[in-house]
């Protein structure tokens, strides 16, 4: 049997079997919607820790659920997981390397964007109004 005949035989067998949907798709979708609502409502509480947890923590959980259940990363060859981990590591290294320069509010030959001065004047005005 040639490889083409084997391939055709496999396609015929696959076409004859009905496709069975994964039973957890709707449940995972509902979980993702609930997490979306939590990540939108969390920052409205105004607490910085809650905002960070809802912004990043829930985003990590949602990404994991999508990758595991819809992208089927858990059934992919092992090197795919290593590739994803390596990409995340390089992204974190890039952020760690550029953040000290990019996130500064002042520096040599550094022109402040207009929004920084607008925020400072707004904060000064709100402090003067509240008496702090």
Query: Which pLDDT does position 78 carry in this prediction?
Result: 79
Q: What residue segments make up the domains of the chain, in order of their start? A: 23-75, 77-132
Examine the pLDDT at 33 and tell me if it is beyond 90: yes
Q: Is 131 exposed, middle or buried (0-12, 13-18, 19+ CB in 10 A)?
A: exposed
**Residue 9 pLDDT:** 60
84-109, pLDDT tens digit by residue? Answer: 889 989 999 999 998 887 777 777 77
- How far is residue 106's CA from residue 19's CA, in Å, rounded to a whole number? 60
Q: How far apart are CA 40 and CA 42, in angstroms?
A: 6
Query: In angstroms, rounded to a whole number, what is the distance separating the alpha carbons of residues 66 and 57?
Result: 14
pLDDT value of residue 122: 75
pLDDT tens-digit profile of 47-68? 888 888 888 888 889 988 888 8
């Amino acid at each position: 049997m040639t490889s083409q005949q084997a391939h055709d035989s496999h396609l015929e067998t696959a076409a004859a079997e009905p496709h069975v949907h994964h039973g957890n798709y709707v449940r995972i979708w509902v979980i993702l919607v609930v997490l979306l609502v939590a990540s939108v409502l969390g920052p409205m509480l105004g607490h910085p820790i809650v905002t960070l947890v809802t912004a990043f923590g829930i985003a990590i959980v949602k990404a994991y659920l999508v990758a595991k259940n819809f992208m089927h990363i858990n059934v992919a060859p092992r090197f795919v997981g290593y590739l994803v981990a390596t990409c995340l590591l390089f992204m974190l290294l890039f952020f760690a390397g550029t953040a000290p320069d990019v996130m500064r509010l002042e520096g040599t030959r550094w022109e402040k964007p207009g929004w920084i001065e607008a925020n400072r004047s707004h904060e000064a005005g709100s402090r003067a109004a509240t008496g702090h």
